[in-house]
Amino acid sequence: MQSELQIGRKSEVIAKALVNDADGSPRIEKRARLFDDFIRYVLLFCGIVSIFTTLGIVVVLGRESLLLFSTLDAQGQPVVTLGEFFFSTSWQPAGLKFGILPLLESTLMTSFVAMLVALPLGLGAAIYLSEYASPRVRGSLKPILEILAGIPTVVYGYFAVTFMTPLLQGVFGRDTVQFYNTASAGLVMGIMILPTIASMSEDALSAVPRNLREASYGLSATKFETISKVILPAALSGIVAAAIVGISRAVGETMIVALAAGAGPNWTMPPNFFVAAETITGHIARISGGDLSYNSVDYDSLFALGFALFIFTLGLNLLSRYITNRFREAYQ
């Protein structure tokens, strides 16, 4: 009876477009929406592709690494053991010596120099932008950082060999500074990472609540005292997270070191920043760029290096996110 009242009143087109039961009451029961379900699975599949990427990385790197460690030499001995891999100071694939230390050393050296540049400058730039610059100045300065962030790393590499290296040689003398050296690569890498650290730190600084600043000014602190005693400590975890991401970028950076740091592993103790030395990434790039046969120890060794690099950067990134998340909770 109610049904009559309502359905009868609809215009014909609409009434026709809706489905009703035999008694004329609206049908609101579930019906199969195959297309919607299908789409849902397609989209889920898209999401799963990214999981397969990670899985692919782990499996590929892991499997080839295992191959390296299970390769036997002429005497039936493993060519390299885990211990040798991590603790021996010679990497010479031709001589079946696979000690990661010389590569790791120069990786850490370039990263160290890079952070020496990027951390103070990036943080300084962030403080200037978030605490001192007027909105107009900030509006015109930030694009410059964005441009720096958008320049391809191969261009930075070119800059290192054609500008930074001659500059270093000019300052310290050609006798001290070899053409390929970790200092030049590290310095330019620092410029490359600067925008990352600046923008992440700026986010951290601007997340510090207003009332904290006001409280500090209320206690008659100067601007710099407010920054150094109140704002920086409050944003510290965000800044630390930025620095860790910066390190991870530096460790994984390839093109700058491939062009400027040198070809050939070089274990220097104490570290010498002015001599050529190959980093992990530089080595992978150089060896795989040549004619590399697939079933060789050399090939496997690249993946072992890649695995070490992957684990290292993943750890850094996870650490950075853990710190950021804790920091966020602290203010909510």
Partner 1 sequence: MTTTNGATAIDLKSVKVFYNDKLAVDDVNIPIYHNKITAFIGPSGCGKSTVLRSINRMNDLIPGARVEGQVLYHNKNLYGDNVDPVEVRRRIGMVFQKPNPFPKSIYDNVAYGPRLLGIRDRRTLDEIVERSIKGAYLWDEVKDDLKKSGLALSGGQQQRLCIARTIAVEPDVILMDEPASALDPIATQAIEELMRELVKQYTIVIVTHNMQQAQRVSDYTAFFSIRKAEETGGQERRWGVLGEYAPTDQLFSNPKAEETERYIRGEFG
Partner 2 sequence: MAQRALSETRTAEDQAFARSLAARHFRGAVWERFFQAAIVIGIVALLALMFNTVNRIVGLVAVQEAIHPSEISDVPLEQLSAEQLAAILTERLPSGGRVLVRDGLLGGADYYNANNTLTMGQFLPDVTLPESVASKKLSELQPEDTQALFVAAMDKNTLLDEVYDQVVGRDVVGSWPLTASLFNRADIEAEIAADHPNATLQWNSWLDLQFLVDSMSNTPADTGIRTAFLGTIWVLLLTLLVSFPLGVGTALYLEEYSSGNNWLERFIETNIRNLAGVPSIIYGLLGLAIFVRTLESITQGRTVISAALTMALLILPVIIINAQEALRAVPPSIREASFGLGATKWQTIWNQVLPAAMPGILTGTILGMSRAIGETAPLIIIGAATFIVKDPNSPVSKFTVIPIQIYNWAKQPGGQYQDIAAAGIVLLLIVLLLFNATAIILRQRFRRSLSA
User: Which does residue 28 touch among partner 1, partner 2, none (CB within 5 to 8 A, set by kind)?
Assistant: partner 1
By a kind-dependent CB cut-off of 5 to 8 A, residue 22 interacts, out of partner 1, partner 2, none, with none
Neighbours of 255 (CB within 10 A): 21
Exactly one of 29, 294, 329, 330 binds partner 2 (CB under 8 A); that residue is 294
Min dist CB 117 to partner 2, Å, is: 9
**What does the DSSP 8-state code read for residue 94?**
G
Shortest distance, position 25 Cβ to partner 1, whole Å: 4
Is the four-CA dihedral 109, 111, 140, 199 of positive or negative sign? negative
Binding part of the chain for partner 1, among 16-24, 98-106, 230-238, 241-249 by CB under 8 A, reads: 16-24
The yes or no reply on residue 163 touching partner 2 (CB under 8 A) is yes
Region label for 21, one of left (φ > 0), alpha (ψ between -120 and 50) or beta (otherwise): beta
Looking up tokens 């500059």 gives 167
Which residues lie closer than 8 Å to 99 by C-beta, 6 or more apart?
Answer: 80, 84, 85, 86, 87, 88, 89, 90, 91
Q: What is the CB neighbour count within 10 angstroms for residue 80? A: 23
Among 15, 45, 214, 331, binds partner 2 (CB under 8 A): 45
Where does this chain touch partner 1 (CB under 8 A) — which range of 15-23, 95-103, 132-140, 262-270? 15-23
Question: What residue 2 binds from partner 1, partner 2, none (CB within 5 to 8 A, per partner kind)?
Answer: partner 1
Show the tokens assigned to 87. Answer: 């603790």
> In angstroms, what is the minimal distance from the CB of 269 to partner 2?
26
Q: Give the shortest CB-288-to-partner 1 separation in angstroms.
A: 47
Asked if 40 touches partner 1 (CB under 8 A), the answer is: no
> How many binding residues for partner 1 (CB under 8 A)?
21
Q: Which is nearer to partner 2, 43 or 87 (CB)?
A: 43
Half-sphere exposure of 306 (CA within 13 A, CB side): 21
The CA-atom distances, in angstroms, between 157 and each of 40, 115, 153, 190, 330 are 44, 17, 6, 12, 40
Stretch that binds partner 2, among 8-16, 98-106, 233-241, 316-324 (CB under 8 A): 316-324
Return the number of the residue (12 or 291) whose C-beta is nearest partner 1.
Answer: 12
Provide φ and ψ at 9, rounded to 5°: -85, -15
- Give the residues lining the site for partner 1 (CB under 8 A): 1-3, 5-6, 9-11, 13-14, 17-19, 25-31, 33
